[in-house]
Amino acid sequence: MASPPSPRLVAAALVVAVLAVSTSSILIRVAEAPSLALAFWRCALGAAALAPFAARARRTAIGPPPPALRRQVAGAGVLLALHFAAFVSSLSFTTVASAAVLVTMSPLFVGAGAAVFLSESPSRRTWAGMGLATAGAVGIAAADLGAATLGARALVGDGLAFAGAVFVAGYLLLGRAARRSLPVSRYATVVYGVAAVVLLAACVVTGADLTGYDRTTWLAIAGLVVGPQLLGHTVFNTLLASVSATAIAVVVLAEPVGSTLLAYLLLGESPAPLFWVGAPFVLAGVWLSARTGERPAPPPPAAAAPAPPAPDAGRRA
């Protein structure tokens, strides 16, 4: 079994992944394509990119994965599809800032689920940090509630973004369980593939066009695959083998900072005034949770071999 990555390597990987997913909102806004179609192409092309690595890992595997593991992976794919569908749809109704913050409320659900299903209970300090972040998200949603230019449409978008947080929480919990025994290439390929199938069905039902885009939209789709999908989600999935799902979810709370800055610089979208009240609470929650020094329990060993007797067993000093 490979040794766990060093703390510095984990920290660097988390920074890269957060920066990558922070570009998602901007790329979705730039692309002139239905939101469900964008989610489909993101998952389908992500699965295609990882398929050769998954095939190589499968050749060295000892037997097929058990049925329970296959159900976990398939369930993660369905939840990922629902997360993408809800999140990208929310951007048609609300601001990048609100959608990006509300969709990262998943730590509330991940923390509870990890304690119940994975025996990885977050510390009190982590819960306090998540509470601060939730308070900040409520403030940001209140900004949309009071904005005459947004009104009820913004509330619909906020609701979709929050639903995306619930779905991604289940995705992270199932991923944490599955990644204890499945290589990331195989896991991510199947998860993205299942999500693509679900999203393709949704595109057919809703009549979303899958082709006929201009060059800018295809470039934005390519950016979604390389950035948020491969450098973002796949890096998070890689770390799930050694880092708790709660830790991953809390770190992702830093995404709105990058998303909002990019929206301001590239789209000219200034956050509502209350955003600047809520955002510090979100960042304070991330900081408080990160300072816990919480380390996830290592995955259970495949088989525990009896320890050999000590050389001086039976002898007294």
Nearest C-alpha neighbor of 190 from the set 168, 213, 174: 174
272-288 per-position pLDDT tens digit: 777 778 778 877 877 77
Cα(282)–Cα(160) distance, rounded to whole angstroms? 19
Q: What's the average model confidence in pLDDT over 45-67?
A: 89
155-208 per-position pLDDT tens digit: 888 888 889 889 999 999 999 999 988 999 999 999 999 999 999 999 999 899
pLDDT at 29: 83
Cα(168)–Cα(81) distance, rounded to whole angstroms? 9
pLDDT score of 300 more than 80: no
